[in-house]
């Protein structure tokens, strides 16, 4: 009897709902800190007066440091997680990370009401961002391995949750502003929201062992030592057949599922496919995987593409885009950045990723795809020449709000689309046995792109 036939029913799609919440919860930290940049900048970038005269205006470059100190932990702890998962239990990694993230968010909410010198507040906030994203990297890597043990559609649900995390954070900021409360109260309410979201994520994870459907797949795979902490898709076959895919995350942490042309259940259920896999992997004998260098040679173009996409995206978003000012005075000034920067980016990025399920052009073998990726470089000068304030060297060419919003639409849609294609094409270029290695490599280059983009944001912001 096949695994699919023996699997219990996921009643009410409860496991799917839980993994949607888990996906949403993993990217709340990055998105809430990024969207709250207006609050931090207002509190930090204060003017100093001496003898009734304005003497110093200290610039902390909060957006640049926030981006850098968010992405460096992702790069470091993505590598570290591949070692941690063998030495620390899954429950400790996931539940422990969520608890620490919750405590750090509570600290951030408390600091809203605590008077503090700017330098000290900046240092405490940067340390909080570093540790939150460190725990977040371990959390994401562990959850990717967990959802990879379930049927493929649950990975799509998990990634959908991650894709909407940024939109959720942007809407929370808009609602906080619309409450007409004073800035401190609005900020406090804003940071309480991810506390509740993280607590809900923790409760959802603790419910998983109580659901028969989840236990059927997770316990079965763990008993065979198939717990994967890289971004792989795995489905039990007979007693010992492994089928791997891949997934990874985006600039706001959104995740893109691997090989859509390979349905794990259908391949493993087909008699011919079963015999082929069993022939390659006899009982008590594992398939010999290719070396990392051999896999990299096959996916090198896609590794370059995902690195370049995120380098371009993070070099200007949010470090530069968040400083664009509206030309209209009044209440719209309060909503301009939450709507035209964060909401548009997250919504359009998610749409760009979703479109790839319908259209995949250019094909993976085409040179047009890396050309399309490189062409996104045009968005860097376009966004730098919008109405970014304060400026140093470049002139303002696009002061109109509509032009800025239009550029952001194409910038974010192309980002999500190109990232999704890169992560989708990579596992199709290697043999199924090398899917795990390809996933680990693409994850590293994705994190590398995020870190490079964060680094480039410093000189680019100075040039503006």
Q: How far is CA 298 from CA 63, 156, 243, 254, 363, in A?
A: 36, 25, 19, 25, 15
For the cut 60, the answer to whether the pLDDT of residue 215 exceeds it is: yes
Contacts of 237 (CB under 8 A, 6+ apart): 3, 243, 268, 274, 277
For residue 211, pLDDT over 50 is answered with yes
- DSSP E strands in 58-170: the ranges are none
28-32, 66-70, 217-221, 375-379, range with the lowest pLDDT: 217-221
Q: Average pLDDT of 412-426?
A: 89
Which of the residue ranges 269-273, 326-330, 339-343 would you say has the lowest mean pLDDT? 269-273
- Which residue in 326, 306, 460, 442 sits closest to 382, CA to CA? 460
- Residue 236, pLDDT > 70, answer no
Say what the alpha-carbon torsion angle 399, 404, 405, 410 is, to the nearest 10 degrees.
160
Give the rounded percent of residues in the chain with a pLDDT score beyond 90: 35
Buried b / exposed e over 85-106, threshold 16 CB at 10 Å, is beeeebeebbbbbbebbbebbe
Closest among 228, 148, 190 to 28, alpha carbons compared: 190
- Determine the pLDDT at residue 90: 82
What mean pLDDT do residues 303-316 have? Answer: 95
For residues 232-252, average pLDDT = 36
Over residues 272-287, the mean pLDDT reads 40
292-314: average pLDDT: 93
For 83, counting Cβ atoms within 10 Å of its Cβ (0-12 exposed, 13-18 middle, 19+ buried), the class is exposed
CATH number of 3-463: 1.20.1250.20
Distance of CA 29 to the CA centre of its chain: 10
pLDDT score for 256: 39
Please name the helix (run of DSSP H) or strand (run of DSSP E) that holds residue 378, with its range, or none: none
Contact 359, 417 (CB under 8 A): no
What's the sign of the alpha-carbon dihedral 207, 212, 213, 214?
positive
Query: The whole model's pTM is what?
Result: 0.74
Distance CA 24, CA 197 (A): 8
Q: What pLDDT sits at residue 47?
A: 55
Break the chain into its structural domains and give their ranges. 3-463
* Listed residue (331, 333, 324, 334) closest to 406, CA to CA: 324
């Amino acid at each position: 009897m096949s695994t699919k036939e023996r699997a219990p029913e996921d009643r009410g799609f409860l496991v799917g709902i839980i993994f949607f919440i888990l996906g949403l919860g993993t990217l709340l930290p990055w998105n809430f800190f990024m969207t709250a940049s207006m609050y931090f900048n207002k509190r930090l970038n204060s003017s100093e007066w001496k003898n009734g005269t304005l003497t110093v205006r200290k610039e902390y470059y909060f957006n640049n440091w926030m981006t850098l100190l968010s992405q460096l932990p992702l790069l470091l702890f993505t590598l570290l997680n591949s070692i941690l998962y063998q030495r620390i239990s899954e429950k400790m990694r996931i539940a422990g990370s969520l608890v620490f993230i919750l405590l750090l968010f509570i600290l951030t909410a408390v600091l809203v009401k605590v008077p503090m010198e700017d330098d000290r507040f900046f240092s405490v906030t940067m340390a909080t961002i570093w540790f939150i994203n460190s725990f977040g990297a371990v959390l994401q890597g562990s959850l990717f391995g967990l959802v990879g043990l379930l049927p493929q559609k649950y990975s799509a649900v998990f990634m959908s949750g991650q894709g909407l995390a940024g939109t959720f954070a942007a809407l929370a900021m808009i609602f906080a502003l619309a409450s007409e409360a004073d800035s401190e109260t609005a900020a406090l309410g804003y940071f309480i929201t991810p506390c509740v979201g993280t607590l809900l994520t923790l409760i959802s994870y603790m419910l998983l062992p109580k659901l028969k459907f989840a236990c059927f797949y997770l316990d079965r795979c763990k008993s065979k030592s198939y717990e994967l902490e890289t971004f792989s898709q795995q489905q039990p076959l007979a007693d010992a057949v492994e089928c791997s895919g891949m997934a990874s995350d985006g600039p706001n942490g959104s995740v893109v599922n691997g090989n859509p042309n390979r349905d794990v259940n259908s391949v493993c259920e087909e008699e011919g496919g079963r015999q082929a896999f069993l022939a390659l992997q006899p009982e008590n004998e594992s398939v010999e995987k290719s070396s990392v260098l051999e896999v990299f040679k096959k996916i090198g173009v896609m590794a370059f593409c995902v690195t370049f996409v995120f380098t371009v995206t993070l070099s200007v978003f949010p470090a530069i885009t968040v400083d664009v000012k509206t030309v209209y005075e009044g209440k719209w000034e309060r909503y301009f950045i939450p709507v035209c920067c964060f909401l548009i980016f997250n919504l359009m990025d998610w749409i760009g990723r979703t479109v790839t399920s319908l259209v995949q052009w250019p094909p993976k073998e085409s040179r047009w795809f890396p050309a399309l990726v490189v062409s996104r470089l045009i968005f860097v000068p376009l966004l730098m020449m919008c109405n970014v304030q304060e400026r140093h060297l470049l002139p303002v060419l696009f002061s109109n709000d509509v032009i800025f919003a239009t550029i952001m639409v194409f910038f974010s849609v192309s980002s999500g689309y190109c990232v999704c294609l890169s992560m989708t094409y990579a596992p199709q270029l290697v043999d199924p046995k090398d899917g795990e290695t390809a996933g680990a490599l693409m994850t590293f280059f994705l994190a590398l792109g995020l870190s490079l983009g964060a680094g480039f944001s410093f000189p680019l912001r100075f040039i503006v």
